[in-house]
Each structure stands twice: as structure tokens, then as C-alpha cells.
Chains A and B, each alone.
Chain A
Amino acid sequence: MRLLINRFVLGLSTLSALIGLAFLGWILITLFVKGISSFHFNLFLTDLINGGLRNLIVGQLILAAIASVIGIPLGMVAGIYIREYGRGKYAELIRNLSDIMVSAPSIVIGAFVYAIIVVPTGGTSGFAGSIALAIMMIPIVINTTDSMLSLVPKELREAGIALGASKYKVIVDIVIKSAKVGIMTGVLLAFARIVGETAPLLFTSETSNYFSLDLTSSFPSLTVSIYDLANEPEKASRDLAWAASFILTVMVLIINLTGRFITRNKG
């Protein structure tokens, strides 16, 4: 009887794992089938106004890239502070707050940036969108940097200091170097996460039908346009939304897997 119960429960547990995999498979297959059927290479060559996705893909990448340029250095340096310099309560407080901010509702961050940038500057802009994404990114990078630095053995730091190196030298030349791979993975995963975000962009960058490199006005965003297109009644719009979703997911999964692959090989 005990063995029977054991079998039954273990079976249920395996079944749940299969259910989880089934959802993943179902979503990916749907995306693949719907995406491929409306996919053609012209999508990369024309802008949304002409039925393509070029401006949206470029726009989304630019938004995420600018967010990274702002968010990664700030997050890394802040992570270095709470692990290497910070002592006691303050560093612990920052660590905890950034831990909470990782899970904070992204739409609220959008509303915050709307209030501090969009309203004063008089309109949505690529700049505001990038800031919103950067605010999402900073705590993620802080957490990764913090936990990767914690893996660096104390002896390495002590050896550096014993050789007469300054604390700054030890951090830059020894600690960062040995945690480089882990931090890079974390950064890639953070990028993969924000590049697929929609909610913080809805009222900060909005989206645009045209190709644009002008960060001071509404900026083309792949995710925001997917939301708009998917809600339109015409089938053509929805097909375009599926193709865009397919491209977005492939992009996110490739970046995500690259990150994991780096750690596996060198970490």
C-alpha cells in the first residue's frame, strides 16, 4: 500500500513536469506555426507603415541597448559597492531594496517615468522608454553582480592586498576578472528580460509606424506594436503580430540560451 501511494504521488509529480513542458511546447509550436506562415524576409526590409517590422525591431533593440548602457554600469558599480565596500546596515538595506525592485510591477515603473519625464517634456519619447527599461535593469544587474562577487574566494582578495595593491586595484584587476563570466551571463539574462518588456514602454516610448532614430519623440517599439496589432480586427494585422511575436521570442530565447551557454563552458 505504501509503495502504491509512493508510485501514485511520484507519477503525479512527473505528470506536472510533463504539463509544464506541454505548455512550453504548446506556446512555442503555436508561435512557430503562426509565425512562420506570416513570415517573409521583407519584414526586415520595410517599416510598419508599409507592413514590415524593420523600424520596430531596430527601435526595440535601440531602447534596450540604451537602457543597458545606462543600467549595466550603474548596476555593476552599485553591486560592487554592496559586496566590496559596503559595511553593515546601509549595504544590507540597498541589497534588500534592489531584491524587492526586481519583482516590482513594471507598469508602475512606466507610470513613474511618465510622471517624471513624459509629463515635464511634453510627450512620449524614446529617451523616456529607455529610462524606464534602465530602471528595471539596474536591480537585476545589482543582484547578479552581488551574487557573482560573493563567489570569488576571499583568499584572492587577501593575496592582492598582501602584494600591496590598493582596494580599487584588487576589485578591478582581481575580483571583477574572476567573476567576469558570471557577470556577463547575468547581464545577458537581464538584457533578454528587458528587451521583451511591454508594460513600461506603453506610455513612455509608445510606438511609431515609421523608422526613427530620434530619441526625443515617440519611438518604434516591437512589443507595444504587437499589443496594438493583436487587438486590431483585421487578420493581416494579427498575422503581422504573430510574425513579430515569433521574431521577439526567438531573439529573447537566443540571448537567454547564449547567456547560459557561456557559463556552462567557461564558468
Chain B
Amino acid sequence: MEKLFQKISLASASLVLVILLGIFITLFNASKPAIDEFGLGFITNPVWNQEVAIEGLANDEVAPTNQAESAEINEDIITTGDEMIIDEDEHSDTKTTKTIFGGFIPIVGTLLSTLIALVFALPIAMGIAVFLAEIAPKNISHIVGIAIELLAAIPSIIFGMWGLYYFAPIISDLFGGYQVSLLTAGLVLGVMILPFMAAVTRDSMNTTPDVLKESAYALGATKFEVIKDIIFPYSKVGIIGSIILALGRALGETMAVAFLIGSIFSLPSSITSPTVSIPVAMANNFGEANGLGESALFYLALILFVISFTVISIAKFYFLRGVRK
């Protein structure tokens, strides 16, 4: 019994490693056809699901026309609002056309929407953390803390619906442009990561020893000066970690963004135009995709996984060493 239990517990723990490696290997295998076909150029290619004639031309010579065509198609999608129709040409015997996929647009969309979320959430989250850690009396801090954590518990799909029907109309009235856009998606994403960022920042601030704060107060410092000159420098590393961790979460968020980003493969001409992000591209196109298209989506998933894995690792192990959750 004793030995058996130990073996079982070791096996369960190893399962984490197995799953993680499994995810990497599976994603890599599934994206292999796309990786072979497009290579690393996938990352910088702004064309998605574009059929082009081969006609014995080198790829580079075909490329410019692709982009023009893709622009046209994207406009069509804007006007009709239809889903992308994935049209594979696998069984064409003559092989006069081939379909090109590139990940540039969803990658840019992911990074930009995350950036907007961060810019929006950062000051508010810092304010909330300072409020919870330093300003509010214990019982108020406790209640507000629970409320903020409840905000974090709301399922992301709810943020998406609320964002689309109630938040986005206000934002597009204020800033113009479309209701589904990079801006509205980023802002709703910001609201979503707000409680998380605030909670981790508060925990970092709470690691500041009371003795340090008290000696500063004894020297006649105001609360703001204590926060600025004692708490921030002391917990700087943890705060940066919490910001990066929130960023890691925002990168992979699907449902809140899916309602708001517009889900069209076009580079946003401005902050208020619609585009697509990696998770949203997967959510909305996976069902219809097959062959190379599906493989390209897996390629995107692999890129997303590598980016967020790296970002989260940096946050956890470089910055958040001392802070437990």
C-alpha cells in the first residue's frame, strides 16, 4: 500500500510533464504540413487562405498579386460579415493553384489587443492594489477584495457578451469607428485582466515589511511618499511580475475577444478597425478548416503556446519568485 501510493503519486505528478510535452509535440506534429509549406515566413506573411495560381512562377513573384487579392477578399468579408469559407484544393489533379496561409495578421492582432488591454488596465490595477493594500481599513479592504476577486470569477464569455452589447456601443460613440474593433476588444480584455493584475500586485505590495513603512512614517512621510519611496521600490520586481503574468493571460484569452475583435483577416488600418487574434482565429475557423488550413491553425496555436509559455515563465520565475500566488 505504502509503496503503491508513492508510485501512484509520482505517476500523477509526472502527468503534468507528460501533458505539457504532449501539447508541444502534438501541436508541432499537427502544424508540420504548414511549417514545411510556409516555414518561418508564416509569421510575417499577411495573407490568409488565399488561392494563387502556380503557373510555374517562383513564389516570390506571385506574392504581390496575392496581397492585392487578399485585400479585395477581406473587403468582401467586411461588407457581408460572412465567415471565412475554407476552400481546400487538395484533390485538384492539375495542381494549378495552391492555397497560402500566413500568420502575420492574427499575431499582430493578438499583440495589439493585449497591449491596449495592458495600457488600460495598468493604472487602474495599480490604484486598486494601493487602495487594498494601504488605504482602505481592514474590513473594507476585505470586502472590496472579495468583490474584485468575484469580478475575476465571472466567465470570460460573459465579458464578451456584455462588452459587445453594452460596452462597445459607448466606446464607438466616444472614439468613432466600428463597434467591433481592436480598441473595444482590447478594452474589454483590460477589464478582464484588471482584477487579476490588482490581486497579484496587492500581494506583492503586502510583502513590504511593516518596519520599513513605520520608520518612514516616523520620519514624517505622507502616505503617498511611503507608497512611492518605500513600497514601490521594495515590491517593484513583484509588481512587474504581476503585470507580465496578466499579459500572459491576456494573450491567450479567447471568448471575451471573440465577441469584439470582428474576426476578419485584415490588418487594422486604425485602432478602431476590426481584425483577428490567434485564439479567435482558432475559435471561429477550426470547425470548417481541413488539410493545410487546419495545419496552419495548429501552427498559430503553437506560436501562441510558445509565446505565452515564455511570457508566463519569465513572470513566474524571474519576477515572482518570492510571492506565492
Contacts and interface: CB of A to CB of B under 8 A. Distances in A.
Interface stretch (B22-30, B36-44, B68-76): B22-30
A16 B154 contact: no
B312 A111 contact: no
Interface residues of B, number: 87
Contacts of B156: 196, 198-199
A112 B2 contact: no
A179 interface: no
B87 to A, nearest CB: 20
A59 to B, nearest CB: 15
A78 B161 contact: no
B17 A94 contact: yes
Contacts of A40: none
Kindly name the residue among B16, B126, B162 whose own CB sees the greatest number of chain A CB atoms within 10 A.
B16
Given A16-B127, A104-B305, A193-B153, A203 B286 contact: yes
Contact of B151 (A20, A82, A84, A101): A20
Nearest to B9: A81
A230 B225 CA distance: 49
Interface in B283-325: 283, 286-287, 297-298, 301, 304-305, 308-309, 312-313, 316-317, 324-325
Contact of B223 (A6, A17, A78): A6
Contacts of B16: 78, 94, 97-98, 101, 138-139, 142
A135 B224 contact: no
Interface in A75-102: 75, 77-78, 80-82, 84-86, 91, 93-94, 96-101
Given A105-B304, A198-B254, A252-B155, A226 B9 contact: no
Contacts of B63: none
Contacts of A106: 252, 254
Majority DSSP secondary structure for residues of B touching A: helix
A105 B135 contact: no
B301 A108 contact: yes
B14 A17 contact: no
A50 to B, nearest CB: 23
Contacts of A77: 8-9, 12-13
B58 interface: no
A111 to B, nearest CB: 5
A27 interface: yes
A202 interface: yes
Contacts of A114: 286
B252 A108 contact: yes
B286 A111 contact: yes
Majority DSSP secondary structure for residues of A touching B: helix
Given A16-B128, A74-B15, A91-B13, A115 B30 contact: yes
B195 A20 contact: yes
B127 A12 contact: yes
Interface in A133-148: 135, 138-139, 142-143, 147
A223 B157 contact: yes
A207 to B, nearest CB: 12
Contacts of A91: 13
Nearest to A24: B151
Contacts of A110: 282
A265 interface: no
B12 A74 contact: yes
B198 interface: yes
Interface in B154-182: 154-162, 164, 166
A9 B23 CA distance: 46
A97 B147 contact: no
Interface stretch (B47-55, B93-101, B211-219, B243-251): B243-251
A198 B207 CA distance: 35
A236 to B, nearest CB: 15
B161 A226 contact: yes
Contact of A81 (B13, B26, B128): B13
A101 B131 contact: no
Contact of A227 (B1, B154, B255, B325): B255
A109 interface: yes
A3 interface: yes
B255 A198 contact: yes
A15 B127 contact: yes
Interface string B114-152: 000000000111111011100110000000101110110
Contacts of B316: 96, 99-100
A260 interface: yes
B6 interface: yes
Contacts of A105: 251-254, 279, 304-305, 308
Contacts of A139: 16
A169 to B, nearest CB: 8
Given A5-B222, A97-B16, A202-B286, 4 more contacts: A106-B254, A107-B279, A167-B6, A197-B155
Q: Ordered nearest first, which 4 A-B pairs have the shortest CB separation?
A: A105-B252, A16-B127, A196-B155, A81-B9
Interface of A: 2-3, 5-6, 9-10, 12-17, 19-21, 23-24, 26-27, 30-31, 74-75, 77-78, 80-82, 84-86, 91, 93-94, 96-101, 103-112, 114-116, 135, 138-139, 142-143, 147, 166-168, 171, 192-193, 196-199, 202-203, 223, 226-227, 230-231, 241-242, 245, 248-249, 252-253, 256-257, 260
